[in-house]
Structure 1
Amino acid sequence: MLRIREIILSVTVLFVVVFLTIQVSAIKCWRCRSDLDPRCADPFDNTSLPITDCSVYSFEHLPGMKATMCRKMRQKVYGQWRYIRSCAFLGSPGEGTGDESYCLMRTGTFDVFVETCTCNSKDGCNSATSVYRNLPKLLFLLSVIFVLTHYIFTERVCI
């Protein structure tokens, strides 16, 4: 009986480690500017733009730092809308809320408006008008952990 519990616990731990490793691997994001390429604006046309592996980019002023998220910025400057999609090195999904559907909005003088959205739920997550949160994967993981935990702590394990 104890051997079965050890095996189930080991499989659960391995599954969680693999899941977490997949989440922190290099992310691919759309990189473009609508002032240089109108396909970058909303609605976004990614059919002829390549997606970019963010691990190939770095900044001199951020040595050793890796991009872990995608970012979409929507700016209105003097009445003209611009969209900038890029890899993100700093910040957190949902601009600190953990909710990727949340975007940070700032306004300034001289008719300036900036909306910044960050995400890391999937490759290319900075393509959508409203960012998609990967809830099905999380629910699946929680279901597997619940079922395996149930089997570990019940006495009715049959093989």
Structure 2
Amino acid sequence: MKAIVVIFSFAAVFCLLEVATSIRCYECNSYYQQDCSDHFDNQTINMVDCSAKIANASRCRKQIQEMWIEDHWDIRYIRQCASIGDIGDYEGRQCKERAGTYKVKVRYCHCDNQDGCNTASALSSLLGFSLPIAVFFLLKLLR
């Protein structure tokens, strides 16, 4: 009986580890989806599992494109998974600005530790707290 409890306990811990290392991001484009623009409504767009879309996905990207089209600035927001990109200051809230071609401005924001950027932030703290307690109880069961 104790062996079964130990096996299930370790299986549960490994499931938590897998969830904690998986990154999930929002993926949308305001050109096609109006609710993708700022002020972003995360209730209407679901997060996607980035590991199934991009190899080595480790962060989320928000790209803001400003283009001068027909006498006005058109702003588009693109949210996606990413495997590269510098995490901005203040946990990714500060974006990097790039000058594009004539009348195009682009800002890139990368984050890997906020809700909607990486669900591991909440789980890793839970795991760091609960793992030693689980090991303690497993050792007690084995005695």
Give the TM-score band, short-chain normalised.
0.5 to 0.7
The equivalent residue for 2:87 is 93
Measure the CA separation in 1 of the matches of 2:24 and 2:90. Answer: 19
Deviations 1:26-62 (A, max 9, x none): 110000000000100000012121111111113xxxx
Deviation (angstroms), 1:109: 3.6
Counterparts of residues 25-40 of structure 1 (less than 5 Å): 25-40=21-36
Measure the CA separation in 1 of the matches of 2:94 and 2:18. Answer: 23
Measure the CA separation in 2 of the matches of 1:48 and 1:100. Answer: 23
Superposition misfits of 4+ residues, deviation over 2 angstroms: 21-24
Given candidates 49, 63, 70, the residue that maps to 1:73 is 63
Q: Helix, strand or coil for the counterpart of 1:116?
A: strand
Deviation (angstroms), 1:22: 7.8
Structure 2 unaligned blocks of 5 or more:
1-16, 130-143
TM-score, length basis structure 1: 0.56
The equivalent residue for 1:129 is none
Deviation (angstroms), 1:103: 1.1
Q: How many residues align?
A: 104
Structure 1 unaligned blocks of 5 or more:
1-20, 59-64, 127-133, 145-159
Q: Helix, strand or coil for the counterpart of 1:36?
A: coil
The equivalent residue for 2:14 is none
* Residue 22 to residue 117, structure 1, CA distance change in 2 (3 Å): farther
Given candidates 53, 56, 60, the residue that maps to 1:57 is 53
Which structure would you say has the larger RCO, counting Cα contacts within 8 Å and 6 or more residues apart? 2
Deviation (angstroms), 1:92: 3.3
Deviations 1:77-130 (A, max 9, x none): 121000000001112322xx684222110123421010000000034139xxxx
Given candidates 22, 40, 43, the residue that maps to 1:44 is 40
* Residue 98 to residue 48, structure 1, CA distance change in 2 (3 Å): closer
The equivalent residue for 1:104 is 96
Report sequence identity in percent: 36
Normalized per residue, which structure has more strand? 2
